[in-house]
Amino acid sequence: MTHTDWPLWEVFVRSRRGLSHTHAGSLHAPDAELALRNARDLYTRRGEGVSIWVVPATAVTASSPDEKDPFFEPSADKPYRHPTFYEIPEGVKHL
Amino acid sequence: MTATVPATAALALGDDALVLSHRLGEWAGHAPVLEEEVALANIALDLLGQARVLLSMTGDEDELAYLREERAFRNLQLVEQPNGDFAHTIARQLYFSTYQHLLYAELAAQEGPFQPLAGKAVKEVAYHRDHAEQWTLRLGDGTGLSHDRMSRACDALWRFTGEMFQPIPGVDIDWAALETSWLASVTDVLGRATLTVPEGPRTGAWAAGAGRQGLHTESFGRMLAEMQHLHRSHPGASW
């Protein structure tokens, strides 16, 4: 098994209409069309999705683990940024 | 409508699906890449599901799959051909899936014993056909090596394609029109893949037309031995 030539693709699956695409995993494929088909076979065969995006992994710019503190730490002690003081009405699922 | 099931037709269509499913299953652990292995296994499982429904229409599915002798199988010789290299597997799939997709679309559109199955399976088969077409385009119009291999595979399997259009008793469709549509579609795909439509007879060749009568090619016996070995060694085994 060697597929060093094939680029890596990140797969995003929308599980239902109205929800957003969620990262499902990654796979190798020679081009975008086959990446979509591979994604269909790998991530949606049990009815998990209604829509798929594939994105070349090289096109994703990720935050570095070294920058974790400056990126995320400052928000930890600002509870007023969190909408925790609202009561969520019954029956609202995706809030 | 409870039409009696034409046993010959159920066996022919069921054996096509069963045998090709087993061939594709042989790729498990051997496919060129993991992603493609899953794709082939998915197609194999779709076909196995179809085979179970079809064989159950005319008898006990396990008995039919595991306890029949070679001469009692009614599948096309095309589907029993060995996997060969990846190009051979794709060429076999292109020829068969195009045929099966057109055939199931016809069966899904008319009332009859096969309508429920065909109506459901036609969507699966559309994907099999698309998968084979996508790969045919990439192998044919790929590198010099992939082009040569794909071209060789298309040529090698060409003589098994005539058999697909021998009318099956109990399947009431326009077989000549089916063949015309098949040829047009395959010609189109091969053209876009920069491959030439193979020359040579598709009917009347010595090997053509025999699978439906129970005459099979050399490699089929070996495949069957492997497929049936476990069931015959341990009758009634379960887990």
Q: Do B130 and A42 touch (CB under 8 A)?
A: no
Taking the C-alpha atoms of residue B75 and residue B58, their distance in angstroms, rounded to an integer, is 15
Tokens of B238: 């379960």
CATH, domain range B7-233: 1.20.1260.10
Q: Where are chain B's structural domains?
A: 7-233
Position with higher pLDDT, B2 vs B111? B111
CA–CA distance, B211 with B72 (Å, rounded to integer): 10
pLDDT tens per residue across span A68-82? 777 787 777 777 777
Report the CATH number of the A8-81 domain.
3.10.20.520
Nearest-Cα distance to chain A for B35, in Å, is 6
Kindly report the average pLDDT of chain B as a whole number. 93
Which one-letter amino acid corresponds to residue B3? A
8 Å CB contact of A38 and B42: no
B210 — pLDDT class (breaks 50, 70, 90): confident
ipTM over cut 0.95: no
Q: In this complex, do B39 and A28 lie within 8 Å of one another by their Cβ atoms?
A: no
Confidence of residue A4 (pLDDT cuts 50, 70, 90): low
pLDDT digits (tens, 9 = 90+) for B167-199: 999 999 999 999 999 999 999 999 999 999 998
Nearest partner of A34 among B30, B149, B136, judged by Cα: B136
Evaluate the CA torsion angle A46, B105, B76, B206 in order and state its sign: negative
Taking residues B141-150, report their average pLDDT: 97
What band does A1 get if pLDDT is binned at 50, 70 and 90? very low
What residue ranges do the domains of chain A occupy?
8-81
Q: pTM (2 decimals)?
A: 0.87
